[in-house]
Chains A and B, each alone.
Chain A
Amino acid sequence: GQNIDQPTEMTATEGAIVQINCTYQTSGFNGLFWYQQHAGEAPTFLSYNVLDGLEEKGRFSSFLSRSKGYSYLLLKELQMKDSASYLCAVRAPQGKLQFGAGTQVVVTP
């Protein structure tokens, strides 16, 4: 079956670093996406990994290990505006995205 697991909630202070882990077991794999979603808003694209390794994009980095079925999203120099839900999604060969339930990140002053 399809299974994408990520923690429900994480809390960190402004300026700190937070790492959100995602493990997946899916019948097909054609890349892994991370999306950010503020309450009541559309998911917005953060990163895409299709090969193993680390992709860095400003304050956000994402890592993928296909053999372990594992990814993480690293958020550095946290800002209050980073408080949101972070969604891990695996892309099936046909294109559809299979999402985890999301990790709610709470940034405190």
Chain B
Amino acid sequence: GAGVSQSPRYKVAKRGQDVALRCDPISGHVSLFWYQQALGQGPEFLTYFQNEAQLDKSGLPSDRFFAERPEGSVSTLKIQRTQQEDSAVYLCASSFQPGGSEQFFGPGTRLTVL
């Protein structure tokens, strides 16, 4: 594809609901990162995949957050029992090299938890 794509672009969830956010990285990109961006803030790192291996999940805020990339391409970020503080834009980025040099970002998914 031409760039990183994410779906859905917007998601409204009721508190307590589970959500799944999808990221399609640029074809052939080895590295995939998830970030969370609150309004008026810079993105905060959540987790990193090199191919299908999740090498760093130190940024996941709680055990309600789970990410996977089973075949080393598409990734899904799942949030269980959503809370209002989970409301943010979730950005996915991919990079050709392991460890990520220049990261290309997707448009993000704006999650609003009511």
Contact = CB atoms under 8 A, between A and B. Distances in A.
Contacts of A98: 45
Contacts of B106: 42
Contact of B33 (A4, A31, A93, A96): A96
Interface string A68-104: 0000000000000000000101010111111111100
B43 A97 contact: yes
Interface residues of A, number: 23
B107 A101 contact: no
Contacts, number: 62
Contacts of B33: 95-97
A95 B102 contact: no
B21 to A, nearest CB: 14
Contact of B41 (A31, A35, A95, A101): A101
A95 B91 contact: no
B76 interface: no
A101 B59 contact: no
B110 to A, nearest CB: 8
Nearest to A48: B102
B43 A95 contact: no
A96 B42 contact: no
B48 A45 contact: no
**Central interface residue in B40, B42, B101, by most chain A CB within 10 Å:** B42
Given A96-B45, A97-B33, A97-B100, 20 more contacts: A31-B101, A33-B102, A33-B103, A41-B107, A42-B105, A43-B91, A87-B43, A91-B100, A94-B55, A94-B56, A95-B33, A95-B98, A95-B99, A95-B100, A96-B56, A99-B42, A99-B44, A101-B40, A102-B41, A102-B42
Interface of A: 4, 31, 33, 35, 41-45, 48, 87, 89, 91, 93-102
